[in-house]
């Protein structure tokens, strides 16, 4: 069986800021340990250090057993990547290298045959392929192909040979996550590192994951913000906050109470430290004053100095981390009474024709299983519907979204300006720009602002410390918060949110809910977040049989 030991680990960011210090915990054999904490606190960084992706320059990480890793954006590995690329990225390194060598030599052999080169060159290509095929078999490649076939059949209901060359981008985010999780949980690795494994999963998928984690004999260290999944699966909770981490020995159900009690203890310890420090300082000053005219007290003055110095060198106890204060000011604006009108709208290959009217001020949750067309529906509206109006066109990257094949009509009402939040945060035009630069320069839909105003806006979203950091280097939660800020600044009157809470910590999700409650406009959100869904008043269900219906209450898994 496998385990992970993290001992006194620290990490310093490239700009010199200390992100983590003295982090210690153990993932025992068969344990399910959850990493929780605010966005940007260092959870993903810690996982990357355990995985070996980042060097451990302070402290140590010890592991036993094979290691399987699922990163936060598991499928975001390039538009032309195939399911075979995804599968090979999740197997042990030696097997991965053998698989890629096999693919390369096979491609070279077919290219040589297609060019009609001389027999010597073709023979060399065939020999290289034969050697790679033998190495693939020796290292366990055929057993891996059996596993790939099993997972493809379970997740996609098709054999591996039929889907291995399928582009990853043609799978929904939930299908990508389910494929990766099935492969890792059925694989031979004894230790799994899972970064937000529940993201993109529908509610039945989350329930499936809860069951599989509970029954698995593997040792699992995972990051999640889904409170129900945490409550059902975590044996212990490691909280990353305030630049370090602490371990709650119970499950998530008692974690909040334990955190409140811990903060109270830290406050009391700091108060007592301050009182003792003040007493020692006053004693030292008293002896200093008396020693000035009484040499017999010089030794006591020196002793008081030594005692104060040692007390200060030991340092004060840590203070409780500052609670997040995120203020999202989603303004919106008045539009026509009818915000969205769909008439016999049919998403090709996904839904039957349906009619739908959304009114100004509606809060609509779009529910349904993965792959039923929910994200396609949001993308169509984000592009302005079937016949977009250039005067109120899409904002903040929505115009670059791929067209959505459909029949029927989807149109936006008067003065409705859509703003789109993508579940995958796919904004390549932002990746290499700093947050201040993005806000300063603006774009064709949004005027820029000076640095002072930009830092003020970032501060409201608890992102001031990341102002000079590139968007592509932010954590998933920080990216999500910044994309909401761009929506705030865009002037959108129709918010189209695709899984907005997936990467948000609890404080950020609550801030988003408060911001949406104050938003003067219409909100349409695709979500599998059972807690978040309770804040909506209309529910549109994309059924697995292609029907789109409105339901009076949330419906899951139909």
- What pLDDT is stored for residue 223 in this prediction? 93
The more confident residue out of 93 and 173 is 93
Q: What does the pLDDT average to over 231-236?
A: 93
Please give the pLDDT value at position 518: 92
Q: What is the mean pLDDT of residues 215-243?
A: 92
171, pLDDT greater than 90: no
Asked if residue 238 lies in contact with residue 245, where contact means CB atoms within 8 angstroms, the answer is: yes
Dihedral pair phi/psi, residue 470, rounded to 5°: -70, 145
Residue with tokens 């796919």, as numbered in its chain:
426
Is 321 within a domain? no
Residues 264 and 217 in one domain: no
Q: How far is CA 403 from CA 247, 383, 398, 399, 400, in A?
A: 47, 8, 10, 9, 9
**Which one has a higher pLDDT value, 392 or 534?**
534
Phi, psi of 53 (to 5 degrees): -75, -30
Q: Find out whether 485 and 365 touch, Cβ atoms under 8 Å.
A: no
pLDDT cut 70: percent of the chain above it? 94
Domain stops at, among 166, 193, 214: 166
User: DSSP assignment of 50-79, as one string?
Assistant: HHTSS---EEEEEEES-EEEE-TTTT-S-T
Render pLDDT for 409-448 as a digit per residue (tens, 0 to 9). 999 999 999 999 988 787 888 888 999 989 987 655 555 6
Question: Do 309 and 427 belong together in one domain?
Answer: no
CB 303 within 8 A of CB 378: no
Closest CA to 332 of 522, 459, 557: 522
Query: DSSP class of residue 473?
Result: G
Number of domains in the chain: 4
CB 158, CB 138: distance < 8 Å: no
Kindly tell me if the per-residue pLDDT of 205 is higher than 60: yes
Same domain assignment for residues 187 and 152: no
343 located within any domain: yes
Residue 373 scores a pLDDT above 60:
yes
pLDDT in tens, 318-340: 888 877 778 898 888 888 899 99
Q: What is the DSSP string of 515-532?
A: HHHH-BSEEEEE---HHH
Rounded-to-integer distance, Cα 547 and Cα 373, Å: 11
Range 113-132 average pLDDT: 78
Q: Convert the pLDDT of each residue in 461-483 to its tens digit.
A: 989 888 989 998 888 888 999 99
Whether the CA torsion 472, 475, 477, 481 is positive or negative: it is negative
Domain-located, residue 234: yes
- Let me know if residue 332 belongs to a domain: no
Q: Does 271 share its domain with 377?
A: no
Spatial separation of the C-alpha atoms in residues 90 and 95, rounded to whole Å: 10
pLDDT above 80: residue 82: yes
* Nearest-angstrom CA–CA distance, 421 and 96: 34
Q: What is the pTM of this model?
A: 0.73
The answer on pLDDT for 395 being more than 70 is: no
Confidence of residue 391 (pLDDT cuts 50, 70, 90): low
CATH code: domain of residue 485: 3.40.50.300
Do 454 and 307 fall within a single domain? Answer: no
Look at residue 58 in the predicted model and tell me its pLDDT.
92
Contact 500, 421 (CB under 8 A): yes
Count each helix (H run) and each strand (E run) in the chain, helices first: 17, 18
Report the SS3 class of residue 523.
strand
What does the block give as tokens for 86? 């995804």
In which residue are the tokens 């292609």 written? 546
Within this chain, do residues 292 and 404 fall inside the same structural domain, yes or no?
no
**Same domain flag for 7 and 142:** no
Mean pLDDT for the chain? 88
pLDDT band at 77 (very low <50, low <70, confident <90, very high): very low
Q: In the chain, pLDDT over 90 holds for what percent of residues?
A: 53
* Residue 331 maps to a domain: no
Residues 86 and 70 in one domain: no
Q: Around 512, how many Cα atoms within 13 Å sit in the side-chain half-sphere?
A: 29
Say whether both 284 and 379 belong to one domain. no
Q: Residue 177 phi/psi, 5° resolution?
A: -65, -45
Residue 207 reports pLDDT greater than 80: yes
> Is residue 27 one of the residues assigned to a domain?
yes
Residue-level pLDDT at 270? 92
- In the predicted model, is pLDDT for residue 78 greater than 50? no
Average pLDDT over residues 194-200: 88
Paired strand residues for 345: 354
Q: Which parts of 194-234 fold into alpha helices (H)? A: 203-215, 227-233
Domain end, chosen from 197, 227, 250, is at 250
Residue 400: which pLDDT band, with cuts at 50, 70 and 90? low
Q: 3-class SS at 169?
A: helix
Which has the closest alpha carbon to 238: 249, 228, 227, 229?
249
Q: Is 50 domain-assigned?
A: yes
Question: Are residues 278 and 242 both part of a single domain?
Answer: no
| Cα separation, 109 vs 103, whole angstroms | 10
Q: Which tokens sit at 351?
A: 């839904």
Domain extent for 109: 82-166
CA distance 303 to 328: 55
Taking the C-alpha atoms of residue 501 and residue 331, their distance in angstroms, rounded to an integer, is 19
- The pLDDT of residue 352: 95
- Point out the domain boundary residue: 166, 190, 218: 166
Tell me: do 397 and 518 sit in the same domain. Answer: yes
Same domain, 296 and 356: no
Structural domain contains residue 557:
no
């Amino acid at each position: 069986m496998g385990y992970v030991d993290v001992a006194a680990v620290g990490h310093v960011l490239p700009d010199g800021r200390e992100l983590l210090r003295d982090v210690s915990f153990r993932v025992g054999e068969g344990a399910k340990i959850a990493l929780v904490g605010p966005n940007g606190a260092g959870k993903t960084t810690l996982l990357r250090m355990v995985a070996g992706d980042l060097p451990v320059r302070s402290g140590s990480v010890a592991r036993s057993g094979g290691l399987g890793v699922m990163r936060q954006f598991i499928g975001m590995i390039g538009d032309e990547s195939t399911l075979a690329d995804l599968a090979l990225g999740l197997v042990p390194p030696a097997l991965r290298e053998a698989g890629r060598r096999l693919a390369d030599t096979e491609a070279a052999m077919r290219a040589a045959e297609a060019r009609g080169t001389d027999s010597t060159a073709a023979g060399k290509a065939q020999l290289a392929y034969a050697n790679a095929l033998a190495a693939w078999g020796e290292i366990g490649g055929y057993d891996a192909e059996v596993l790939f076939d099993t997972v493809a059949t379970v997740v996609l209901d098709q054999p591996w040979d039929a889907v291995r060359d399928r582009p990853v981008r043609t799978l929904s985010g939930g299908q990508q996550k389910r494929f990766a999780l099935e492969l890792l949980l059925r694989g031979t690795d004894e230790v799994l590192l899972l970064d937000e494994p529940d993201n993109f999963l529908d509610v039945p998928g989350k329930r499936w994951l809860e069951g599989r984690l509970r029954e698995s004999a593997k040792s699992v260290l995972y990051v999640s913000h889904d409170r129900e999944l945490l409550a059902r699966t975590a044996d212990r909770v490691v909280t990353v906050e305030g630049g370090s981490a602490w371990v709650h020995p119970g499950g998530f159900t008692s974690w909040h109470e334990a955190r409140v009690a811990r903060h109270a203890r830290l406050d009391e310890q700091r108060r007592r430290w301050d009182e003792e420090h003040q007493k020692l300082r006053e004693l030292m000053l008293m002896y200093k004053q008396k020693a000035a005219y009484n040499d017999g007290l010089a030794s006591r003055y020196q002793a008081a100095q030594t005692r104060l110095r040692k007390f200060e060198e030991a340092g004060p106890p840590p203070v409780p981390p500052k609670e997040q204060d995120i203020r999202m000011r989603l303004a919106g604006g008045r539009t026509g009474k009818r915000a969205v009108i769909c008439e016999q709208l049919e998403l090709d290959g996904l839904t039957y024709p349906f009619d739908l009217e959304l009114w100004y001020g509606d809060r609509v949750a779009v529910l349904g299983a993965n792959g039923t067309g929910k994200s396609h529906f949001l993308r169509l509206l984000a592009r302005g519907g079937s016949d977009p109006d250039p005067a109120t066109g899409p904002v903040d990257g929505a115009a670059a979204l791929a067209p959505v094949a459909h029949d029927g009509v989807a149109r936006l009402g008067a003065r409705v300006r859509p703003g789109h939040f993508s579940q995958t945060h796919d904004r390549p035009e932002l990746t290499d720009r700093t947050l201040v630069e993005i806000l300063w320069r603006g774009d064709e839909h949004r005027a820029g602002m000076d640095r002072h105003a930009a830092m003020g806006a970032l501060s409201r979203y608890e992102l001031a410390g990341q102002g000079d950091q590139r968007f592509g280097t932010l954590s998933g939660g920080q990216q999500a918060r910044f994309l909401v800020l761009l929506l705030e600044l865009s002037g959108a009157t129709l918010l189209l949110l695709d899984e907005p809470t997936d990467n948000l910590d609890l404080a950020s999700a609550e801030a988003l809910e408060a911001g949406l409650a104050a938003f003067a406009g219409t909100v349409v959100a695709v979500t599998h977040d059972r807690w978040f869904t309770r804040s909506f008043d209309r529910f549109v269900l994309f059924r697995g049989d292609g029907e789109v219906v409105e339901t009076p209450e949330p419906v899951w898994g139909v």
